[in-house]
Amino acid sequence: MPLVFQSERFFREAWPQISQSVESTDAASDVQWIAGVTALDSGASVLDAPCGFGRHSVEFARRGSPTTGVDFSETELGRARKAAADAGVALTLACQDIRDMEFSGEFDLAVNLFSSIGYFSEDEDRLVLDRFWRALKPGGTFVVDTRNRDQCVRSLPPEERMRRGSSTIRVENEFDPTTSRWRARWWRLKRATAKSEDGAGELIGDSEIRLYSAHELLAMLRPERWRKVELFGGLDGTPFSLDARRLVLVAWK
């Protein structure tokens, strides 16, 4: 069993409270682009890890792909099961730490999305990438989507706010350029009153992630064992640059 990591309590206890509000990107568009860039055939098998509440897993399944989602949160997996049932699709879901995955040559496509690498030690992050490589069939494709360290180090605001309906999530940011670690403190602000923009805040939790630059993540991926690796600045084909908020690697085995 892998060691506890810095943000484990946050993702077990706090993240399920806010994930469906914070993760607001268009999963259908993300999956459409991924399917296009990887030439995903109908019926091709997909691994989504971690899958969270299943927004991307469901979209892959809608396309006819047998999809396996892995996450260590039973709460999020329960939501994924419901989302699949509501969509009328089938998912295979496993409650597991992604460091424990033991798949071998089972999938045509594997995805690691929404900044889900960097929460462990660097050695364990390398292990996770190795797990994905082993999970793929020969000729399979791996997609990693995370925050671009080089953009973050220059442009991360001290505070971010996300309004979702009547509530607001406030994130207090701190980035240490000597360790490339981004620490965030998450608050839920109470409903605004007529006299103030936001009411008192409730602390939800703290998270910490090691952000990687493009060359660092490429080195960890070990590009020599992939047929081809391409970089993008988002799950829409945006060209990668230092100013891109996202860092997307697409690797063909």
pLDDT digits (tens, 9 = 90+) for 117-153: 999 889 999 999 999 999 999 999 999 999 999 999 9
Domain shared by 60 and 90, yes or no: yes
Domain total for the chain? 2
What phi and psi values does residue 55 have, to the nearest 5 degrees?
-65, -40
Asked if residue 164 has pLDDT above 70, the reply is no
Asked if residue 21 has pLDDT above 80, the reply is no
Question: Where does the pLDDT of residue 194 fall: very low under 50, low under 70, confident under 90, or very high at 90 and above?
Answer: very low
Domain shared by 48 and 169, yes or no: no
Predicted confidence (pLDDT) per residue in 62-112, tens digit: 999 999 999 999 999 999 999 999 999 999 999 999 999 999 999 999 999
Q: Is residue 2 part of a domain?
A: no
Mean pLDDT of the chain: 90
Q: Is residue 3 part of a domain?
A: no
Q: Is residue 217 part of a domain?
A: yes
Domain shared by 158 and 76, yes or no: no
CA–CA separation, 53 vs 209, rounded Å?
20
Domain shared by 179 and 138, yes or no: no
Question: Where does the pLDDT of residue 203 fall: very low under 50, low under 70, confident under 90, or very high at 90 and above?
Answer: confident
The pLDDT of 166-192, averaged and rounded, is 87
Domain shared by 39 and 64, yes or no: yes
CA–CA separation, 41 vs 138, rounded Å?
15
The answer to whether the bond into 157 is cis (omega within 30° of 0) is no
Q: Is residue 145 part of a domain?
A: yes
Domain shared by 162 and 55, yes or no: no
Q: 88 is in which domain, residue-wise? A: 8-149+212-252
Specify the higher pLDDT residue, 1 or 157: 157
Specify the higher pLDDT residue, 248 or 166: 248
List C-alpha distances in Å: 197 to 28, 158, 188, 190, 203. 33, 19, 13, 10, 18
Q: Is residue 14 part of a domain?
A: yes
Domain shared by 237 and 172, yes or no: no
What's the pLDDT at 61? 98
Predicted confidence (pLDDT) per residue in 2-15, tens digit: 554 566 777 676 66
Asked if residue 184 has pLDDT above 60, the reply is yes
Residues 6 or more apart whose CB falls under 8 angstroms from that of 205 comprise 9, 10, 13, 14, 15, 185, 186
Asked if residue 207 has pLDDT above 50, the reply is yes
Percent of the chain, pLDDT > 70? 87
The pLDDT of 35-41, averaged and rounded, is 97
Domain shared by 68 and 165, yes or no: no
Q: Is residue 183 part of a domain?
A: yes
Domain shared by 144 and 226, yes or no: yes
Kindly give the interhelix angle for 214-221 and 122-135, rounded to the nearest 10 degrees: 60
CA–CA separation, 153 vs 196, rounded Å?
32
Looking up residue 76, the CATH number of its domain turns out to be 3.40.50.150
Domain shared by 225 and 132, yes or no: yes
Asked if residue 197 has pLDDT above 60, the reply is no
CA–CA separation, 247 vs 144, rounded Å?
8
DSSP-derived 3-state class of residue 223: helix
What's the pLDDT at 196? 47
Q: Is residue 73 part of a domain?
A: yes
Domain shared by 101 and 183, yes or no: no
Question: Where does the pLDDT of residue 169 fall: very low under 50, low under 70, confident under 90, or very high at 90 and above?
Answer: confident
Domain shared by 93 and 176, yes or no: no
Q: Is residue 117 part of a domain?
A: yes
